[in-house]
Structure 1
Amino acid sequence: MGKMVKEATKYIKTCLGSSSGTEEILLLCGNGTTGAIKRLHEVMGVAIPSSLRSRYLETLILKPEERWVVFVGPYEHHSNLLSWRQSLAEVVEIGVDDEGLIDMNMLRKKLEAATRRGNRPMLGSFSACSNVTGICTDTRAIARLLHEYGAFACFDFAASGPYVKIDMRCGELDGYDAIFMSPHKFVGGPGTPGILLMSKALYLLSSHPPSTCGGGTVSYVNGFNEEDTLYSEDIEEREGAGTPGIIQTIRTALAFWIKEYMGHSLIESREQVLLQRALARILPNANISILGNTHVKRLPIISFLIYTTSLDGHCERDLSSKKDNICISKERSIRKEKPLHCRFVAKLLNDLFGIQARGGCACAGPYGHILLNICKEESLSIRSGIQKGYNGLRPGWTRINFAYYISDEEFEFILAAMEFIALHGKRFLPLYRFNWMTGDWTLRQGTSKVGGMVEKMFLSFDRLRLLVAGGQISSDEKESVLLRNVSENNRGLEQMYAAYLDNARLFASFLPEFPTERRIPQDIDPDLVHFRV
């Protein structure tokens, strides 16, 4: 087993561009990228319990010239922002330029300002790709700029790691001094630990005990004096306290093997085709707003808002169809109203189409303020509402990802589902309850009983059918409604997806085109409700 772990570790390093395998340290950390960044704090000596941080800084135990200056970007996941804020480092946040990219001029000015204040240790910790918009960072340009001023260059590859080639180039001007990522996002990766690959130059505990002391970290211990303890000279052993994650390490290597087998060029070309096709189809839709600059290099990670309109369409009979009860809606472009709640859109994607999406801020709150144009005053007002318990006020978006391995049929189906919700989504609002305290949307329970029992709601349309049977649709209409069964059968994917869409259109045709908005709690300022309820 030990040999397999060493082989797996060596293979992972090779996949990440480790030149010799001896100049870089690979540490496997339990909680994905979050755990990897925390481990970096520990081996740098900047980690401290939050309860002690303010007292430690106020007493000036740490000399000002010894305190790290850490530069972070605008796209950062909370893991790469909040953890630095709660460390002993001074955090300098870099904004976006007019293109929505990392402001390189601002970074240069901040580096110059930090340099003028003395010979303080400096480090940049930037997202290699936004997990919200998919916008890619020019990591080479940032690394060169950081190294020009003597700062270390570290990058978070959590969002892009499964899809892009990563070449550490440790020791080179445009190389990386540390990278962190989450292999559990890879194909075959669930169950794997986080990865921290770092230059030995960043390891500052050589003359101190390791970040975690325990079994496997020492060469010699006695019972007489703590100072007699000899810790391992091998840093990876020294920082590998406890039982190693044997299965996790091997699984991580296998996940990298799948990525290497597929090939970076194939992954990139396929994903760019999917991205361009998606943008060409979505951007003209007046009711769908894609966040972030769509004209710069980005991965097919799309965060979007779906707006409602005062008149969202009208029904016409499709004379070429034999299904006289199905209406084909054609959009009339009228003024935009508020967007649908991000989690409501995700809920409809799931309940109507079985599509898994995420609604929320994607753990990137500061970047969300930029994307949604939320000023400080408004932000503090939202914060006050959340302090009252109204977590449903949190702003956000819905996010999907077109990974390279999805089929064309699945890709087209996802786009069609988005278009459907953009056109008909608000019709479904009365069918759901909104919990202002949690932000959850739950399907209202039907009142009808079949044979004295409520039907078991396995499929989305079975669930919605309960509402139909509960009086939302008249008896005559109920008899004419024949829902197509989309459970497991011998039809192909295309036919199955078409069935989902047909049934969704049918349900929408029976729902009110302009549902009444629900009441907002009296102690919530209506101006803080940025979504349609």
Structure 2
Amino acid sequence: MISVRPKLFDYIDENIIGKDLVIRGPWGPRKMIYADYTASGRCLRFFEKYMIEHVMPFYGNTHSENSACSLQTTKFRESARAIIKKSVNAKDDDVVIFTGSGSTGAIIKLVGSLHLNQEESRAKTVVFFTAFEHHSNILPWKETGVEMVRIPTNTQSVLDRSILKDKLEYYHNKTKKRIICTFNAASNVTGIRTEVDAISSLVHIYKGLVFWDYASAAPYLKIDMNASINGYKDAIFISTHKFIGGPDTPGNEILAIFIDQQNFLDEELLLRMKRFFKSILVAKKFLFDNRVPDVPSGGTVNFVTRESVEYVDDIETREEGGTPNILGSIRAGLVFHLKDSVGADKIEARENELVKRFFKRFPKNEKLMVLGSSKVDRLAIFSFLIYVPNLSKYLHHNFICSLLNDLFGIQVRSGCACAGPYVLDLLNIDDEKARQYTMFITDDAYDRIDADDEKVDKIPLIKPGFTRLNLPYFASDKEIEYILDALEFVANDGWKFLLMYTYDQMTGVWHPRQVYSSDHSQQYQSLTNITYENGQMHENDEQISGNDHSMNNFHSSMAMASPPKDPLNEARSIAANIITYAPRFIDYNKDPELHILEKYKDFIWFVLPKDIAIMILTKKPESEAPDIHHVLPFIPRHSVSIVS
């Protein structure tokens, strides 16, 4: 526990751009609370002030140092690189590369440097990955065709070191293959952490390479490229946009690599992967021995005649044709400088405190199923399902996301967090059931023909998932309690609000009834609203304001002119009115029909609005609730609360 709250926590919290933003929703205005930092960070006022006052006035292209602006810009960018090197304890044989497209960009760059597009190299290589991995740390490797081995989790839902050791021994001693381990430092779904130093040491005993994806962990944990003689990391991937203050950092990715002078980037593979991921590659000198750059362009040549071209010898200059995200690179330096100024130890201590607070608040709640073990080290990232005992089904994750936004202004995320295989593990969905769910989701009509040769309609709404939030380390205790209060309310009473929502089965979006989607969207700003009619830039406020967005009929009177002082009490009041009036006045038969074959009816894992209406109108007692094991198509494993 942190005895005294560090002053920088408050300074960060007070300077978040949008901190006092009020959003308009169907139940009236609500103060926005951001709990989605696992997806992306937020901008900081003092960072932007520094950029405007000190960096932008001197902004110039870094391809020259013969003018004041270009020289100063280069100094800023290189100082950012130096700050990052120091922060991750990089040594002389380590380099830091600014690249693009999140973790994907860095991983693709590394995949190319290992010659995995060449059959001879690919046949002699095996890639280990864990159950935790984000798609970006699976797909680039998988697309090369290299042999891949998935290391499962143990009963505590952490990487199974025993199985890893067995696999390392087998591939090192029996197959003699080059071993590459690409692991996640912390899950972006559960926040569960991996023992990076111990695992690195184990891999190096068997002469393997170990790469760490720090996308979710980097903002909160100490990063040490050279922790010990054997515990060093061969590469780490860091998505800087996930840091507080991180938006607009370069391609949102930094790649720090322990140099292997024998590794060179293969252009053909990179071009193929770039087309697949549409990534932006900012190439660096240590990866290349090619004379022609990946992207021949201005700034890469020494001399050009009518008949010939000579590219510069300096690889960095040769491979940085065009202008990189210069301001973003400088912001990345500011991001790491702030993290180091706060102190990784203080951030980690606060994370541990928030995790304990969360599980103390929800030790065992049959309605709130938190994915992943609570008995292992984890970040304050929580993914969950909400169970409705009376109907033995879950609330749809997208509905939960919308409700937290509409009732409380809380920004969370729903879906599968780009970690599909891990989510299937957590939700306890086996391969056969996953294949069956795929029939409802795939765009390929041929794959929607089942084993009985019957056509299955496409219904993306049926895709399983969860809702995810995180508790920011710099947030005040009051804000943390507000988030937890809101979550508890939705777990207990969120089902009542289903009566006032409907869904789009093709997009999976849930939205309030009696709010026309065209009107609802008009409250959002757009670049097309900007005009220069009066000789200067201004927004057309009439286009933005649109019509009144509060709900019609009986609940329009519940919408507040300003954010309520106690949104929780307001939510309780709304819930009581909904239960009393909604089932009598709304025709739920007008909701979109889920055209699903009778044999697949049990695959509908979520509660529909008409289910709630029928339950209320028939006054169905809780004792008549069906057995969860006989109705639910999946019951999460490794969850904190599992209904028995």
Are positions 1:289 and 2:364 aligned together? no
Per the alignment, residue 200 of structure 1 pairs with 259
Per the alignment, residue 107 of structure 1 pairs with 164
Per the alignment, residue 4 of structure 1 pairs with 76
Q: Against the structure 1 CA distance between its residues 210 and 165, is the aligned structure 2 distance closer, same or farther, given a 3 Å change threshold?
A: farther
Q: TM-score, normalised by structure 1?
A: 0.80
Which aligned pairs between 1:430-509 and structure 2 lie closer than 5 A?
430-445=499-514, 463=549, 465-468=551-554, 485-487=561-563, 498-509=565-576
Among 399, 407, 411, which residue is 2:468 paired with? Answer: 399
Alpha-carbon shift at residue 455 of structure 1 (Å): 13
Alpha-carbon shift at residue 391 of structure 1 (Å): 1.4
Q: Against the structure 1 CA distance between its residues 469 and 248, is the aligned structure 2 distance closer, same or farther, given a 3 Å change threshold?
A: closer
Which aligned pairs between 1:132-171 and structure 2 lie closer than 5 A?
132-169=189-226
Residues of 2 paired with 1:441 and 1:138: CA distance? Answer: 39
Residues of 1 paired with 2:191 and 2:205: CA distance? Answer: 27
Query: Could you tell me whether the CA contact under 8 Å between 1:43 and 1:211 is conserved in 2?
Result: no
Per the alignment, residue 30 of structure 1 pairs with 100
Alpha-carbon shift at residue 131 of structure 1 (Å): 0.3
Give the letter aligned to residue 187 of structure 1.
Answer: I
Per the alignment, residue 594 of structure 2 pairs with 520
Find the residue that maps to 2:155 and give its secondary structure: coil
Q: Against the structure 1 CA distance between its residues 159 and 65, is the aligned structure 2 distance closer, same or farther, given a 3 Å change threshold?
A: closer
Give the share of equivalent positions with the same residue, in percent: 36
Q: What stretches of structure 2 of length at least 5 have no aligned partner? A: 1-72, 266-287, 443-456, 525-544, 609-644
Which aligned pairs between 1:247-326 and structure 2 lie closer than 5 A?
247-310=327-390
Query: Could you tell me whether the CA contact under 8 Å between 1:65 and 1:118 is conserved in 2?
Result: no
Q: Against the structure 1 CA distance between its residues 210 and 362, is the aligned structure 2 distance closer, same or farther, given a 3 Å change threshold?
A: farther
Per the alignment, residue 342 of structure 1 pairs with 397
Residues of 1 paired with 2:437 and 2:189: CA distance? Answer: 21
Find the residue that maps to 1:442 and give its secondary structure: strand
Query: Could you tell me whether the CA contact under 8 Å between 1:42 and 1:211 is conserved in 2?
Result: no
Residues of 2 paired with 1:5 and 1:370: CA distance? Answer: 42
Per-residue CA deviations over 1:376-434 (Å, capped at 9, x if unaligned) read 11000001111243211211110000011111111111111111111111111121121
Residues of 2 paired with 1:408 and 1:63: CA distance? Answer: 57
Query: Could you tell me whether the CA contact under 8 Å between 1:358 and 1:400 is conserved in 2?
Result: yes
Find the residue that maps to 2:361 and give its secondary structure: helix
Q: TM-score, normalised by structure 2?
A: 0.67
Residues of 2 paired with 1:151 and 1:171: CA distance? Answer: 16
Q: Against the structure 1 CA distance between its residues 340 and 416, is the aligned structure 2 distance closer, same or farther, given a 3 Å change threshold?
A: same
Find the residue that maps to 2:168 and give its secondary structure: helix
Residues of 2 paired with 1:372 and 1:464: CA distance? Answer: 36
Find the residue that maps to 1:201 and give its secondary structure: coil
Among 125, 137, 140, which residue is 1:80 paired with? Answer: 137
Query: Could you tell me whether the CA contact under 8 Å between 1:217 and 1:238 is conserved in 2?
Result: yes
Residues of 1 paired with 2:76 and 2:370: CA distance? Answer: 45
Are positions 1:367 and 2:422 aligned together? yes
Query: Could you tell me whether the CA contact under 8 Å between 1:75 and 1:367 is conserved in 2?
Result: yes
Per the alignment, residue 235 of structure 2 pairs with 178
Alpha-carbon shift at residue 345 of structure 1 (Å): 0.5
Alpha-carbon shift at residue 79 of structure 1 (Å): 0.5
Per-residue CA deviations over 1:315-366 (Å, capped at 9, x if unaligned) read xxxxxxxxxxxxxxxxxxxxx7211011110110001110000011111110
Per-residue CA deviations over 1:16-37 (Å, capped at 9, x if unaligned) read 1112xx3112111121212111
Residues of 2 paired with 1:139 and 1:102: CA distance? Answer: 11
Residues of 2 paired with 1:456 and 1:122: CA distance? Answer: 54
Residues of 2 paired with 1:94 and 1:437: CA distance? Answer: 35
CA RMSD of aligned residues (A): 3.0
Find the residue that maps to 2:217 and give its secondary structure: coil
Residues of 1 paired with 2:183 and 2:244: CA distance? Answer: 24
Per the alignment, residue 333 of structure 1 pairs with none
Find the residue that maps to 1:305 and give its secondary structure: strand
